[in-house]
């Protein structure tokens, strides 16, 4: 089973494309996690509880490596344990590290992170494309060999991304050149290569899905950054597969925001997490997601 088939099947099984981002911040944790243990240990307990809540509801989680790396070796060990725990719970794990380098360094990143039997054990990895094709090839090769995936940054959700990504060259923006390259790799590998395209750029999202019909999409920017269900509707194939939609702070720290703050407060932060996940699922289904028929097949890479 290719990575595209793996993630699409998970979306079918859970009936939604929600991706829960694990971006723990010490200052945002409930008070019970801010005393009595090291910060990485608190992150482990907190993220594991998030995983327990999310696993029956959503297909995947996305730990952001930086929040763990800032605490050195202990933080990295906790990240590894969280990835393993999420996999034990049946979740697909996307390692958000935005890695890349050249030659043997790229090979080492790919070998260490991608695949069930790698050191990190992640199903997929975010990768920067801006060192060029020779830096991407080791990731593609490893992903394809291990039935894992990579998501190349094509049109990121942050406002500053347009400084480089929207530059015009050869009659089209840089992001369009990158997208066309992604589509070539996705078609060649059967869906091992996907793209990151932000929900904050609705017009470009529709354009890029058309350009990359074979590529799985990772769509950040939903919720806190302003992306809506209407914005992301073009990311999906007719049966609702083809993309996962990330929400990090809006889910894991939902107890801080209305209406969940009034409904649950900090004491019931877990209930706020569950309610926010279900709210997002409902928003996506109400606007555009169609539950596929039992015999439907995604048009992507299958």
Catalytic residues, by residue number, are 98
Coil/strand/helix, residue 85: helix
Coil/strand/helix, residue 169: strand
* Alpha-carbon distances of 175 from 179, 197, 214, rounded to whole Å: 6, 10, 17
**DSSP class per residue in 237-250:** -TTS-SEEEEESHH
Residue 167 has which token pair? 């530059």
- Which letter does DSSP use for residue 70 in this model? T
Ramachandran sector of residue 174 (left: φ over 0; alpha: ψ -120 to 50; beta: rest): alpha
ω into 297 cis (within 30 of 0): no
Q: Which residues pair with 243 in a beta bridge?
A: 217
């Amino acid at each position: 089973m290719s990575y595209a088939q793996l993630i699409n099947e998970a979306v079918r099984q859970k009936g939604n494309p929600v991706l829960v981002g694990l971006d723990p911040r010490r200052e945002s944790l409930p008070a019970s996690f801010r005393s009595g243990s090291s910060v990485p240990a608190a992150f482990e307990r907190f993220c594991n509880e998030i995983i327990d809540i999310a696993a029956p509801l959503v297909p995947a989680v996305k730990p952001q490596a930086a929040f763990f790396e800032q605490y050195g070796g202990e933080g990295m060990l906790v990240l590894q344990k969280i990835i393993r725990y999420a996999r034990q719970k049946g979740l697909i794990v996307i390692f958000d590290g935005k890695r890349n380098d050249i030659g043997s360094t790229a090979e080492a990143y790919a070998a260490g992170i991608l695949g069930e039997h790698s050191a990190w054990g992640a199903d997929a990895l975010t990768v920067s494309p801006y060192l060029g094709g020779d830096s991407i090839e080791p990731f593609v090769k490893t992903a394809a060999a291990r039935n894992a995936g990579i998501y190349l940054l094509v049109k990121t959700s942050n406002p500053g991304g347009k400084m480089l990504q929207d530059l015009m060259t050869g009659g089209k923006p840089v992001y369009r050149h990158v997208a066309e390259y992604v589509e070539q790799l996705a078609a060649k590998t059967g869906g091992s290569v996907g793209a990151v395209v932000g929900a904050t750029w609705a017009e470009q999202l529709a354009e890029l899905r058309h350009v990359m019909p074979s590529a799985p999409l990772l769509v950040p920017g939903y919720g806190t950054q302003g992306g809506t269900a209407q914005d992301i509707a073009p990311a999906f194939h007719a049966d609702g597969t083809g993309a996962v939609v990330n929400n990090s702070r809006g889910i894991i720290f939902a107890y801080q925001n209305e209406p969940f703050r009034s409904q649950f407060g900090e004491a019931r932060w877990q209930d706020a997490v569950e309610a926010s996940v279900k709210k997002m699922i409902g928003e996506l289904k109400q606007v555009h997601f169609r539950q596929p028929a039992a015999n439907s097949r995604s048009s992507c890479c299958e």
